[in-house]
Chain A
């Protein structure tokens, strides 16, 4: 069967449906794939990402767990050591911290410390990011905590097509992967304006998703838009906010959707920044010590003599995610526009 045959017919999916389809496809192909987490079983997950999977694959492969993230990840590691390929869900990325030791000291280091005697082929799915009035415990972007850790991959999709292909690649990967799902764009690409009608995925080409099996390779960025004026490095929800903002401001930006933060597609970044000579980094996470700082350092180290302006970062502020003032916190079109002005002034 060719790759195209495996991918099957293409249908419209939102990101939830695409993520659900990825797990559905992988569970059908590989009897060792199991899905676990709080409310993921009979109910199908608080965001419905696992809907229908328990009915189809049974309770020993799709099951609800106690509310203990240490246990969810620790148990998944043990199942991985047995030979399964667990896909645990942490209901919100904000809840991942109790599991930090199991992720950082155990999953991420098991291959190394045992010289591959044991591995942790687990894919931890977790909705992350704000813009849904989730307050400080349902809005955080903790990716920078994990990109700092050796031995774990961090993946963040921005379209339904990528979400499915990346999730399949993550499940098939033999290393632990943190798969962060930008929940603001589960149902449609966010333009950045909270006070305008929300869009659905209906008009977006990234919502054409094959029903079958395909992969989007980990470690490869996507050029969302080619341009000459500057390079914008972003991922997740911010890809769409950035795309809409440069269209509104009529800026000929090249947008690089990183898709995987570790391992990073450094070639795509270098090539683009060397071409445009200017670089803006946009993420929703807090600023200090965020992944943008790493990106900024890398661009400076590798593209310094091509730069025509200082690198700019647009990020969330270094505060907890505020509830009522969410849209003053969110790095939306205004903050991006101000940074663009600075970057493009000469």
Chain B
């Protein structure tokens, strides 16, 4: 290599580094948290270019005293609020139980959504029940909110003989077309252009249903994200593009997806797409933003990108230990709090809920999850024999099985006979 030219300053490479590592005290005082109610709410018919500043703002509804304030307050009735709280608490109870099931060796893998329950539950409540969701792997709240059976979710997690996906998919990669829930892929952001395509098809057919999709802030770096944004803006697709900015992509902080330079909502600005940056731990902000974006989509105003500013309170999955790469104090120091607690306090402030009822509900939900687990385990747990028949391995690669798969299926059966199994 030639020596650098001495008359010019040397270049330096910037490699992002998170503010806190293990052992550091987490301090988020520099995170800008504007007061609840301070962001304006444009009319859904307004052009995206007229409210671009919202991409750098933070839509918040619930204030520190548990009041819902400002123009984004969706003014939900107490019954809806209690349903929202119950679904979020159910997600948490389900996550706790299934995480433990993995630790007990009953399955290979699990992913909790602790701290992000509002992102999926409140959004789902703001959508119509037949709108189509293209989730990533941390939106189990969609299924729970739409009343998908817990036992079926667990059957999938256990890959047992009751698993509707026949034990073919990693745990939590659900598929539930009849609940408007697209098959989850392990490859990141692939669902983004697919959601846009679904929405384009719905529009081309004069349908009334819209699509919604979710990816993490880390996955916005994928080409699929940008291809989807281009298609969405070009055809004004009726789709809601959710970026769940939970600060961490496994061990990589959001800086590796570009967060040091701008917000993720701001990605939309270059595409001319409507953008909202919202408090993702504020269920009412999530609801209001989704409702607003859905209204735009339904009236042919096109796509909206919503950045849900939130925090992944636990590890990425059962396969990583977050204390190995980030400060253990981060989850508690996070300035936007716990979404379940915030919604609970709001209901209490309204006089529509109390701590005793909440504690009783938590117990009831834990019992419900436990009952479902017992039921699911009757169908088997991973690696304990009660799986789908062996030959199903070869079914469904194609609609009709070609000769080479038939031959391989016969070979597998012969292998098992030879092994005396």
Contacts and interface: CB of A to CB of B under 8 A. Distances in A.
User: Do A and B form a real pair?
Assistant: yes
A101 B175 CA distance: 19
B396 A75 contact: no
Interface stretch (B183-191, B354-362, B366-374): B183-191
B402 A219 contact: yes
A76 interface: yes
Interface in B179-207: 182-183, 185, 187, 190, 192-202, 204-205
Contacts of B223: 68, 70, 98
Nearest to B175: A114
B323 interface: no
A106 B399 contact: no
B187 A77 contact: no
B363 interface: no
Interface in B218-263: 223-224, 226-228, 230-231, 234
A153 B190 CA distance: 21
B168 interface: yes
Nearest to A58: B204
A65 B224 CA distance: 15
B90 to A, nearest CB: 23
B397 A111 contact: yes
A70 B182 contact: no
A287 to B, nearest CB: 23
B168 A78 contact: no
Interface residues of B, number: 45
A79 interface: yes
Contacts of B192: 74
A71 B228 contact: yes
Interface in A68-98: 68, 70-71, 73-84, 86, 98
Contacts of B165: 113-115, 117
A236 interface: no
A84 B203 CA distance: 12
A79 B200 contact: yes
Nearest to B188: A101
Contacts of A77: 193-194, 197
A119 B223 CA distance: 23
A175 B399 CA distance: 7
B182 A81 contact: yes
Given A75-B231, A101-B190, A263-B402, A117 B177 contact: yes
A97 to B, nearest CB: 11
B175 A71 contact: no
B207 to A, nearest CB: 8
Contacts of A110: 183
B173 interface: yes
A81 B209 CA distance: 14
Nearest to A83: B201
B397 A112 contact: yes
A33 to B, nearest CB: 12
Nearest to A267: B403
Nearest to A106: B190
B166 interface: yes
Interface in B362-405: 396-399, 402-404
A150 B201 CA distance: 27
B399 A115 contact: no
B197 A75 contact: yes
Interface string A112-130: 1111111100000000000
B201 A74 contact: no
Contact of B187 (A73, A105, A112): A105
Nearest to B187: A105
B200 A75 contact: yes
Q: Tell which of A98, A113, A151 has the most Cβ of chain B within 10 Å.
A: A113
Given A66-B231, A117-B177, A151-B398, A78 B187 contact: no
A78 B122 CA distance: 24
Contacts of A101: 187, 190, 224
B169 interface: yes
B164 A117 contact: yes
Contacts of A219: 402
B237 to A, nearest CB: 9
Contact of A264 (B177, B224, B404): B404
Contacts of A272: none
Contacts of A102: 190, 193, 224
A116 B402 contact: no
Contacts of B199: 78
Contact of A115 (B168, B194, B196, B201): B168
B228 A74 contact: yes
Contact of B398 (A61, A82, A111): A111
A86 B196 CA distance: 14
Given A78-B194, A112-B396, 18 more contacts: A71-B230, A73-B193, A75-B194, A75-B197, A78-B134, A78-B199, A80-B197, A81-B194, A81-B197, A84-B204, A102-B193, A102-B224, A110-B183, A118-B182, A150-B397, A264-B404, A266-B403, A266-B404
**What are the nearest 3 A-B pairs in CB distance?**
A78-B197, A74-B193, A71-B227
11 contacts: A71-B227, A74-B190, A74-B197, A78-B195, A81-B198, A82-B197, A82-B202, A84-B201, A102-B190, A113-B183, A266-B404
